[in-house]
Amino acid sequence: MDLITTHANADFDALASMVAARKLYPGARLVLPGSQERAVREFMSLSEDLAKIEYERDVSLESVSRLIIVETRLAGRIGRMAQLVGKKGLEVHIYDHHPRTAEDIKAEKDVYKKTGATTTILAELIKKQEIKITPLEATIMALGIYEDTGSLTFPTTTMLDIDMVSYLVSEGADLNLVASYLKRELSDKELKLLAQLIQSTEIHIINSIHVAIAAATSEEYVEDLSLLAHKLEEAENYNVSFVMVQTKDKVQFIARSNLPFVDVAKIAGVFGGGGHHSAAGAVIKDMNLSEVRERLIDYLHSHIRPDIKAKDLISAKLPEAGPDEPVRRVRDKIAASGTEYAVIRERGSIAGIAAIKDLEKAISRGFGHSRIKGYMSGKIFPVKADTSVYAIQDIIYEKGVGCVPVFEGAKLLGAVTRSDLLRAFHARLFEEPRGKTSGRLYTLNLTSKIKRSFPKKMAELLKFIGRTADDMGFSAFAVGGFVRDLLLGVENLDIDIVIEGNAIEFAKRLAKELCGCYVHHKRFGTATVFFGGKFKIDVAMTRTEIYERPAALPTVKFGPIENDLFRRDFTINAMAFKLSRHGFGELLDPFKGRRDLKEGRIRALHDLSFVDDPTRIFRAVRFEQRFDFRIEPHTEDLIKKAVGLKMVDRTQKQRIREEMIAILSEEKPLKAVRRLAELNELRFVAPALKLTRPAAGLFDSVDEVLAWYDAVRLKRRHVLNRWLIYLGALLDGLDTAEVQKICDEFVFMKADCAKLMSYKRSADKALLFLSRKEKLRPSQIYDCLEGLSVEVLLLMMAKSGFQTARRRIMDYLTKYADIKLSVRGDDLTKKGIRPGPHFRQALKKTLHAKLDLKIKTKAEELDFAMRHFKS
Q: 260 or 481: whose CB is closer to ligand ATP?
A: 481
Nearer to ligand ATP, 71 or 613 (CB): 613
Q: Which CB sits closer to ligand ATP, 656 or 781?
A: 656
* Alpha carbon distances (Å) from 404 to 151, 310, 654: 39, 9, 49
| Smallest separation (angstroms) from ligand ATP to the CB of 619 | 6
| Stated length of the chain | 871
Q: Which is nearer to ligand ATP, 271 or 591 (CB)?
A: 591
Q: How far is the CB of 510 from ligand ATP (least distance, A)?
A: 19
Q: Report in angstroms how near the CB of residue 605 gets to ligand ATP at its nearest.
A: 9
H-assigned helices in 489-645: 503-513, 561-566, 593-599, 609-612, 615-627, 633-644
DSSP at 158? -
Report how far residue 43's alpha carbon sits from residue 46's, in angstroms, rounded to the nearest whole number: 5
Q: Are 528 and 519 in contact (CB under 8 A)?
A: yes
Q: C-beta of 254: minimal distance to ligand ATP in Å?
A: 36
> Between 481 and 560, whose beta carbon lies closer to ligand ATP?
481
SS3 state at 256: strand
Look at residues 718, 717, 730 and name the one whose alpha carbon lies nearest to residue 756.
730
Tell me how far, at minimum, the Cβ of 615 lies from ligand ATP, in Å: 5
Asked whether the beta carbons of 625 and 670 are under 8 A apart, the reply is no
Residue 213 and residue 727: Cα distance in Å, rounded? 58
Half-sphere exposure at residue 59, Cβ-oriented, CA atoms within 13 angstroms: 24
547 vs 746, which CB is nearer to ligand ATP? Answer: 547
- Smallest CA-to-CA distance from 573 within 552, 536, 603 is with 603
Cβ nearer to ligand ATP, comparing 568 with 806? 568
Residue spans of alpha helices (H) in 712-835? 722-730, 736-745, 750-770, 778-785, 790-799, 803-811, 825-830
Helix (H/G/I), strand (E/B), else coil: 689: coil
Q: Quick count: other Cβ atoms within 10 Å of Cβ 750?
A: 9
The residue among 96 and 613 lying less far from ligand ATP, judged by its C-beta, is: 613
d(CA 61, CA 257): 39
652 vs 780, beta carbon nearer ligand ATP: 652
d(CA 309, CA 391): 9
Q: Which one, of 792, 628, 813, 637, lies nearest residue 722 by Cα? A: 792
**Which residue's CB comes closest to ligand ATP?**
481
Query: Are 423 and 308 contacting, i.e. CB atoms less than 8 angstroms apart?
Result: no
Closer residue to ligand ATP (CB): 313 or 685? 685
Residues 7-38 as b/e (b if ≥16 CB within 10 A, e otherwise) read bbbbbbbbbbbbbbbbbbeeebbbbbbeebbe
Rounded to a whole number of angstroms, the minimum distance from the CB of residue 351 to ligand ATP is 47
- How many CB atoms lie under 10 A from the CB of residue 373? 17
To ligand ATP, the closest distance from the beta carbon of 539 in angstroms equals: 13
Q: Report the nearest approach of ligand ATP to the CB of residue 168 (Å).
A: 23
φ, ψ for residue 438, nearest 5 deg? -65, 165
C-beta closer to ligand ATP: residue 116 or 614? 614
Helix H, strand E, coil C: the string for 624-664 is HHHHCCEECHHHHHHHHHHHHCCHHHHCCHHHHHHHHHHHH
Closest distance to ligand ATP from the beta carbon of 437 (Å)? 16
Residue 558: CB minimum distance to ligand ATP, A: 17
Query: Between residues 306 and 614, which has the closer beta carbon with respect to ligand ATP?
Result: 614
Q: How far is the CB of 579 from ligand ATP (least distance, A)?
A: 17
Nearer to ligand ATP, 42 or 494 (CB): 494
CA distances to 41, 344, 605 from 145, in Å: 18, 55, 21
What distance in Å separates the CA atoms of residue 130 and residue 124, rounded to the nearest whole number?
10
| Least Å from the CB of residue 626 to ligand ATP | 8
Least CB distance from residue 569 to ligand ATP, whole Å?
4
As separate numbers, helices (DSSP H) first and strands (DSSP E) second, the chain gives 36, 30
Work out how close the CB of 617 gets to ligand ATP at its nearest, in angstroms, rounded to a whole number. 10
Spatial contact of 301 and 267, defined as CB atoms under 8 Å apart:
no
User: Toward ligand ATP, which CB reaches closer, 151 or 615?
Assistant: 615
Closer of 567 and 755 to ligand ATP (Cβ): 567
The phi and psi torsions of 141 (rounded to 5 degrees) equal -65, -40
- If we measure between CA atoms, which residue out of 724, 794, 785 comes closest to residue 753? 724
Q: Given the rule CB under 6 A, which residues bind ligand ATP?
A: 480-481, 496, 568-569, 573, 613, 615-616, 619
Let me know if 324 is exposed, middle or buried by CB neighbors in 10 A (0-12, 13-18, 19+): exposed
β-pair type (2-5, 29-32): parallel
Shortest distance, position 659 Cβ to ligand ATP, whole Å: 8
Rounded to a whole number of angstroms, the minimum distance from the CB of residue 633 to ligand ATP is 21
CA distance 384 to 411: 10
Q: Minimal distance in Å, beta carbon 612 to ligand ATP?
A: 8
d(CA 665, CA 707): 15
CB of 37 to ligand ATP, least distance (A): 35
| Rounded Cα distance, 172 and 527, in Å | 41
Q: What is the DSSP string of 738-760?
A: HHHHHHHHTT--HHHHHHHHHHH
In 10 A of CB 575, how many CB atoms? 30
Nearer to ligand ATP, 37 or 612 (CB): 612
